[in-house]
Every structure is written in C-alpha cells, then in structure tokens.
Amino acid sequence: MAAAPAAGPPTASAAPVALVTGSSSGIGRSVARRLAAEGYRVVVNSARSVAEGEETAAGLPDALYVRADVSVETEARHLVESAIDHYGRLDVLVNNAGRTRAIPHADLTAATPEVWREILGLNVIGTWQTTVAAVPHLARTGGGTVVNVSSVAGSRPAGSSVPYAVSKAAVEHMTRLLAHALGPSVRVNAVAPGLIETPWTRDSAFFAPIAQHVRETTPLRRTGLPEDVADAVMGLVRATYTTGQVLLVDGGAHLL
C-alpha cells in the first residue's frame, strides 16, 4: 500500500518514499510538504531553481533534493536512480514538472513548432520518461502509485496556450493508458487543477481577468491554492481502489 499506515506515521526505517518533480515552488512544493506531513520521505526536484529546491528539501524531514530536467531522458533516469540510491525504495511518483507560454489561442503563428516542442518535451515526454524509469521500483512495493498533474485545459477549450492544453490532454490519456497497462502493481491517476494561485499566475497580466471571472462565477467563488491540489493528490495516493481517474480541482468551474 502506497500510503502510510492509518495507525500513525511509519518508523524511519519503513517510511515510504515519494518523488515530486518540479517541486521547488508552487503546486509541487505544496505536494512535497503534504506528503512529508503524512510520513513520506520526499525527493524534491527542479531543473533550474536549485536554491529554492534545496531550501524546500531542507525544510522537510529526511528529504533529498536532486536537480534534473526530466525532459532529458538521462536526467529523468538519474533523478529516479538518485532516489533509489539514497532511500532504497520508491512508493509514489508525482509528475508535476511542466511549462507553458501565454499565447492567445487564435494567434496561431505565435505557437511555433519550437514552442510545441518545448512544451510537449517537458509536459508529455518528461512525464513519460520519469514514469518509465520509476515503474520497476514502484511495482516492487506491491502498491506503488503515480499521480500526474494535468489541467482543466486538458479537457476544455481553455488554458494559457493551445500547445499547453494539448499537452495536458495527452497527459490525461497517458494516465488512462498506463493505469490499464500497469495494474495491479501500480496505480496511475491524475489531478486536473483549474486556476491556482502561484507566483507565476499572481504576477501575470494574462491570468488577472481569468482569476476575476473565476471568483465571480464558479460555485466556490475563489481561485485555487496549491494546498487544494496537494489535498487532491494525497487523496488519490490513499485511494487504493482507484486507478485511471482524472480528478478535477477547479472549484466547480466545469459546471458552468
């Protein structure tokens, strides 16, 4: 079973291990902190924000920071191998690392082939490469789990750009395909956040009118927080009879 025993946090020697890609800030950092609070030893990762990643790991008990760009196959493998070398096991993989560009959907020329390759290279191929490297180790636990971070843009005509939305649609179908292929030894699910307040979205003029619309129209009348996504990830980690699901975390925006 991937989650910590219900009776209390596991002992240090038996504590499960979670790897969270892209966890130096925002959603990934909140997921790493939540897993640590639940008794997991956490591998924190980033491709560029090394100081922030090291700071995040330093604030968690028995955590490890590994710099790796998971869009590069050798680095994705190195990340997983570092977790195994340090802890000897891997119970949970959260594929959170991703990138986008703010491009109006109607501006087709701005979504150049280079932009497509950059976004798909991390969001889709990076998720695939890290999962492929992790699966043999997750399977050994007898209850390993993968949680992919998608977006409401994966299923609706929304999102910061067309390439980003397409990448998240691919992640969601990858989730279903892998859940079918890897059961019963590994479960694979995804969360699909709506607009979440992170440093990037708070400082972006692109998202300001979207955030206002969310606050005025959605059933819960607020934008999301990274902790909301962390709650959803933790729920899927615990949901041992659930696989192949994409859980919306959007304050009810999908109802509109």
Residue 66 makes CB contacts below 8 A (sequence gap 6+) with: 43, 44, 45, 78, 79, 82, 83
Q: Which H or E run includes 129?
A: helix 127-140
Active site residue 164: yes
Assigned token pair, 186? 């590994």
Scanning the structure block, which residue is given the tokens 């330093």? Answer: 58
Tokens of 102: 């703010």
Which is catalytic among the residues 40, 87, 164, 241? 164
Q: How many residues does the chain have?
A: 256
* 13 beta partners: none
CA 100/CA 215 separation, integer angstroms = 23
Cβ contact 188:179 at 8 Å? yes
Cite the active site residues.
Answer: 164
